């Protein structure tokens, strides 16, 4: 097997050989694959090994897409091991978001749209020395650096940025140059699946999607990520900020237009009660804007003003309005338009419902696209959502870890169902959680559907739990998140209270740290107009509206939360799902069959017995 593929390690793990064979089969037949591959299978090595073997002597580029910067290092290390083991000569490049590579002061604090326009203006007006230097044909430093990096490739992005800074050249443009000579490019989803960005990316790297193998890691995130990328919003708050900018920089005519736009937005929402919302037609809003100023003329005026604002203060709400107006007339199928009135503001949303709008053409054009994740179940759903062809290979692998290492229980004694929320319910949940974590010999994590529910239940839990309690806070920075994790990991008997879709619900590895995860309730999306439109859209398209638009997104979060516990073959822990709805067939059927999930009333005895048995096994080893 190792001779047939560029496998970096000495031994192939159990089931990993099947995964390698599946990926190889897809590549050889120019087919695609959607793979549910739980933690421990070694997805990175298993996908790169056959892909690189197929691409290395051909004019084929491998795009390895991941949303996590930490994953870049794992992929680069794997490629480095392959180069060394097989004495191969190829270049690989790692590219992160453009603004995170920028050397201009303040770039990292800018909004994405603001940064894009800011960057373009500086380049067009010759005000970015880093860009000017790298575009100079006679730049000896650039050419020398390129040759040096080609020899030592692959290097992490941080090292590339550091070297570019020393040589006074743009790290992003240099990375594009390096990517044009690379066999493997590691980057974020949006470089391929965001329409405007992908066109620029392919042009700069001189690559073609027709000659590519695409590997998408953590692919369960892709549908929602694409929807977010293609969604635009306009609020009265944004207009107010834009009005301040217009007055500050003496755009008097524009200020008048913005006041009229704000009034038009309020008139559209005047019949709405607070926290109410309604669908709105594309034409109605176009008419309102046209009554203020010709649509294209208005956009041009906004964009021109935004350039001047960004030169002085980096961010521009005027530019945000221009971006919204540009997007509004487009996207009828697979989009919805919603007007909402919140407590203190009004927002108009041009919401993408269908991610296949961005993914289908890319998948069809590629030689092979491989989607992988530990929570990509049911695989057929992702095949539908992302627009894969019928012939696509789909496979769900079992966990490679010993089944005896995990206890998985549903406790049907409580619920966070909206109609049953009250202090008595919260107290009952807190008591059960406290009883469980106090019997777990080590650290535990509890995930809640929302910060509100976490806070309500924590009031009771913190007085009943004997362990040290850590609370996740909303909108943590990268540094704050790491600091909290480091503190938590220093304890041997602590409990982390997090939120299903928060900072710790997925994407963190704590091998040996967690002995139990409790998922409280179901992290279902609020049944607002957007969710109803999503259900309706997928009902019309696949007759699976409730599954695709409501149930499965919640269950995917649940699986991700539970997955924080067992990260290696040595980890042992208890997974607890605390809500009566998990016993309902619609939800229970969604759990992996190899979890051996049990519905338990006598849960404390089961948990006590499980950990006693684990201790006994440890004593005999």
Condensed to tens digits (0 to 9), the pLDDT of residues 101-123 reads 999 998 888 888 888 888 988 99
Give the pLDDT band of residue 566 (cuts 50, 70, 90).
Answer: confident
User: Quick one: what percent of the chain has pLDDT higher than 90?
Assistant: 78
Mean pLDDT of the chain: 93
| Dihedral sign from CA coordinates of 300, 301, 306, 308 | positive
Mean pLDDT of 53-78: 91
* SS3 of residue 334 by DSSP: coil
Neighbours of 50 (CB within 10 A): 26
pLDDT at 2: 53
Q: How far is CA 261 from CA 234, 242, 254, 288, 511, in A?
A: 11, 11, 10, 8, 53
Residue 617 clears pLDDT 70, i.e. is over it: no
Query: CA–CA separation, 103 vs 132, rounded Å?
Result: 13
Query: CA–CA separation, 182 vs 91, rounded Å?
Result: 5
CA 48 from chain centre, in angstroms, equals 21
| Dihedral sign from CA coordinates of 144, 150, 151, 152 | positive
Domains annotated for the chain, with CATH where assigned, are 16-227+356-396 (3.40.50.300), 232-352 (1.10.275.40), 403-619 (3.40.50.300)
Answer for the pair 426, 457: CB distance below 8 angstroms, yes or no. Answer: yes
* SS3 of residue 142 by DSSP: helix
**Higher-confidence position of 151 and 432:** 432
**Residue carrying structure tokens 């002085």:** 312
Answer for the pair 562, 522: CB distance below 8 angstroms, yes or no. Answer: no
Give the pLDDT band of residue 321 (cuts 50, 70, 90).
Answer: very high
All residues at 6 or more sequence positions from 251 whose CB lies less than 8 Å from its CB, including other chains: 245, 305
User: Quick one: what percent of the chain has pLDDT higher than 70?
Assistant: 99
Give the pLDDT band of residue 619 (cuts 50, 70, 90).
Answer: low
Per-residue model confidence as pLDDT tens digits over 13-63: 888 999 999 999 999 999 999 999 998 899 999 999 999 999 987 889 999
Name the residue among 144, 525, 250, 82 with its Cα closest to residue 535.
525
pLDDT at 314: 79
Query: CA–CA separation, 597 vs 384, rounded Å?
Result: 27
**Phi and psi based region of residue 271 (left: phi greater than 0; alpha: psi -120 to 50; beta: remaining):** alpha
**SS3 for 50-81, per residue?**
HHHHHHCCCCCEEEEECCCHHHHHHHHHHHHH
Query: CA–CA separation, 121 vs 277, rounded Å?
Result: 38
Tokens standing for residue 377: 């179940």
pLDDT at 620: 60
Per-residue model confidence as pLDDT tens digits over 521-541: 999 998 999 999 999 999 999
Q: How far is CA 416 from CA 126, 435, 581, in A?
A: 57, 19, 9
pLDDT at 507: 73
Query: CA–CA separation, 347 vs 326, rounded Å?
Result: 17
Query: CA–CA separation, 575 vs 301, rounded Å?
Result: 56
pLDDT at 87: 92
Query: CA–CA separation, 321 vs 289, rounded Å?
Result: 12
Name the residue among 615, 408, 596, 428 with its Cα closest to residue 517.
408
Query: CA–CA separation, 568 vs 513, rounded Å?
Result: 11
* SS3 of residue 362 by DSSP: helix
Burial of 282 (0-12, 13-18, 19+ CB in 10 A): middle
Residue 238 clears pLDDT 80, i.e. is over it: yes
Answer for the pair 599, 412: CB distance below 8 angstroms, yes or no. Answer: yes
Query: CA–CA separation, 211 vs 527, rounded Å?
Result: 42
Mean pLDDT of 587-613: 92
pLDDT at 315: 85
Residue 621 clears pLDDT 80, i.e. is over it: no
Per-residue model confidence as pLDDT tens digits over 164-217: 999 999 999 999 999 999 999 999 999 999 988 999 999 999 999 999 999 999
Burial of 263 (0-12, 13-18, 19+ CB in 10 A): middle
Residue 339 clears pLDDT 80, i.e. is over it: yes
Query: CA–CA separation, 441 vs 191, rounded Å?
Result: 45
Per-residue model confidence as pLDDT tens digits over 447-466: 999 999 999 999 999 999 99
Answer for the pair 26, 32: CB distance below 8 angstroms, yes or no. Answer: yes
Helix (H) or strand (E) segment spanning residue 23: helix 16-28
């Amino acid at each position: 097997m190792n001779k047939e593929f560029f496998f970096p390690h000495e031994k192939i793990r159990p089931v990993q050989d099947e995964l390698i064979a599946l990926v190889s089969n897809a590549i050889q037949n120019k087919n695609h694959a959607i793979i549910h591959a739980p933690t421990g299978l070694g997805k990175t090595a298993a996908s790169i090994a056959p892909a690189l073997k197929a691409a290395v002597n051909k004019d084929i580029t491998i795009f390895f897409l991941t949303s996590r910067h930490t994953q870049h290092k794992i992929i680069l290390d794997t490629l480095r091991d392959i180069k060394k083991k097989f004495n191969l000569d190829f270049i690989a490049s790692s590219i992160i978001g453009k603004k995170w590579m920028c050397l201009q002061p303040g770039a990292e604090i800018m909004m994405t749209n603001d940064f894009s326009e800011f960057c373009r203006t500086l380049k067009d007006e010759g005000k970015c020395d880093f860009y000017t230097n790298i575009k100079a044909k006679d730049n000896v430093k650039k050419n020398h650096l390129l040759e040096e990096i080609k020899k030592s490739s692959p290097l992490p992005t941080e090292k590339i940025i550091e070297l570019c800074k020393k040589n006074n050249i743009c790290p992003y443009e240099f990375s594009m140059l390096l990517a044009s000579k690379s066999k493997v490019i590691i980057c974020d989803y949006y470089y391929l699946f965001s329409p405007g960005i992908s066109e620029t990316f392919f042009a700069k790297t001189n690559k073609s999607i027709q000659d590519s193998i695409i590997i998408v890691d953590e692919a369960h995130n892709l549908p929602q990520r694409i929807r977010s990328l293609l969604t635009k919003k306009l609020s009265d708050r944004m207009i107010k900020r834009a009005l301040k900018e217009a007055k500050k920089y003496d755009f008097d005519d524009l200020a008048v237009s913005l006041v009229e736009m704000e009034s038009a937005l309020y008139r559209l929402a005047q019949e709405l009660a607070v926290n109410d919302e309604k669908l709105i037609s594309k034409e109605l809003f176009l008419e309102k804007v046209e009554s203020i100023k010709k649509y294209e003329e208005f956009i041009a005026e906004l964009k021109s003003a935004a350039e001047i604002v960004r030169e002085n203060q980096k961010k521009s709400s005027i530019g945000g309005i221009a971006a919204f107006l540009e997007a509004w007339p487009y996207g009828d199928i697979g989009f919805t338009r919603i007007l909402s009135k919140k407590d203190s503001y009004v927002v108009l949303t041009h919401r993408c419902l269908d991610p296949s709008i961005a993914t289908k053409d890319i998948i069809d054009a590629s030689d092979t696209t491989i989607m992988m994740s530990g929570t990509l179940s049911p695989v057929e759903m992702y095949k539908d959502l992302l627009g894969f062809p019928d012939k696509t290979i789909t496979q769900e692998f079992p966990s490679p870890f010993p089944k005896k290492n995990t206890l998985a229980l549903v406790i049907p004694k409580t619920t966070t169902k909206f109609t049953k929320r009250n202090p008595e319910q919260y107290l009952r949940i807190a008591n059960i959680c406290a009883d469980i974590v106090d019997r777990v010999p080590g650290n535990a994590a509890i995930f809640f559907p929302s910060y509100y529910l976490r806070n309500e239940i924590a009031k009771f839990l913190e007085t009943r739990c004997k362990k040290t309690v850590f609370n996740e806070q909303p909108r943590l920075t990268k540094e704050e998140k790491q600091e909290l994790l480091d503190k938590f990991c220093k304890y041997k008997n602590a409990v982390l209270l997090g939120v299903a879709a928060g900072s710790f619900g997925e994407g963190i590895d704590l091998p040996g740290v967690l002995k139990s995860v409790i998922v409280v309730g179901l992290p279902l999306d609020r049944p607002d107009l957007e969710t109803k439109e999503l259900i309706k859209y997928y009902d019309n398209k696949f007759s699976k509206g409730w599954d695709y638009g409501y149930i499965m997104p919640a269950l995917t979060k649940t699986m991700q939360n539970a997955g924080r516990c067992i990260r290696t073959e040595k980890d042992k822990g208890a997974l607890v799902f605390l809500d009566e709805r998990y016993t309902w067939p619609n939800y229970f059927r969604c759990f992996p069959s190899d979890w051996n999930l049990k519905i338990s009333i006598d849960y404390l005895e089961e948990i006590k017995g499980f950990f006693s048995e684990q201790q006994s096994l440890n004593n005999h080893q």
